[in-house]
Amino acid sequence: MAKLNLQLNGRARELSVSPHQTLVDVIREGFGLTGTKKGCGTGDCGACTVLLDGKPVNSCLVLAVEADGHEVTTIEGLQSDGELRPIQKAFIEHGAAQCGFCTPGMIISAEALLRKTPNPTEEQARRAISGNLCRCTGYQKIVEAITSVKAGRGESSTENHHGD
C-alpha cells in the first residue's frame, strides 16, 4: 500500500492505496465520489474525465499514486456554495444531457476548455469533447451549451480558479 496525498476538489485528502489502483477507482471507491463514471476502463469513452492540475485526463488511465501531491477536480468539485457553474446551467437549458452517464466527463472537458478559452468556437468545442463519447445526443446540444457560455456571463477570473 502507498500513501496518497492530494488536493481533491479544493480539500487536502489522504488515503492508503495499492500501487496498481487507477485514479478512477480510488475517486469512486476510496473517496466515494461516484459522479465520475467508468464506461470502458481503456481511455476510449472519456466518461471518467477529471481535471488533474487543471488539465482534463481519463482517470482510468492514471494510476492513483501518480496523483500524489497534485490537484484533482471531479464533477462534485465544480459547484461553489451550491451554485452551479455556467457550463452546468447551460447543459440544463440546452437539453444537453440525456441519459447523463457521459455528462460529468463531458462537463469536465468543457469546463477545461472554457477556463482556457472563455468564448470558444463550435470547432473548438467539438475538439475539446472529442474524447468524450456520447451515445444519446449526437453532441449538437452539448456543443450549443458549450458555445453559449461566454466570458463575462457569470464568470470571473477568481471563479475560474475555484477548486484548482
28 binds another protein (CB under 8 A): yes
Segment near another protein (CB under 8 A), from 8-16, 62-70, 111-119, 123-131? 123-131
Q: Sign (positive/negative) of CA torsion 110, 112, 113, 114?
A: positive
Among 41, 61, 66, 162, binds another protein (CB under 8 A): 41
Q: What is the rounded distance in angstroms from the CA atom of residue 63 to the CA atom of residue 154?
A: 35
76 binds another protein (CB under 8 A): yes
97 binds another protein (CB under 8 A): yes
Question: CA angle, 108 as apex, 74 and 35 as ends, to 5°?
Answer: 40
**Which residues ranging from 1 to 20 are in contact with another protein (CB under 8 A)?**
none
- Buried-exposed string 8-27: b where 16+ CB fall within 10 A, e elsewhere: bbeeeeebebeeebbbbbbb
Among 57, 67, 72, 75, binds another protein (CB under 8 A): 75
The contact pattern for another protein, residues 51-70, with x = CB under 8 A and - = no contact, is: --------------------
Q: What is the rounded distance in angstroms from the CA atom of residue 83 to the CA atom of residue 22?
A: 30
30 binds another protein (CB under 8 A): no
Which residue is listed with cell 459522479? 35
Closer to another protein at the Cβ: 69 or 95? 95
Adjacency order of strands within the sheet including 11-17:
11-17, 2-8, 71-73, 49-52, 55-58
Site residues for another protein per CB under 8 A: 28, 33-42, 44-45, 47, 74-76, 78-79, 84, 88, 91-93, 95, 97-104, 107, 125-127, 129-143
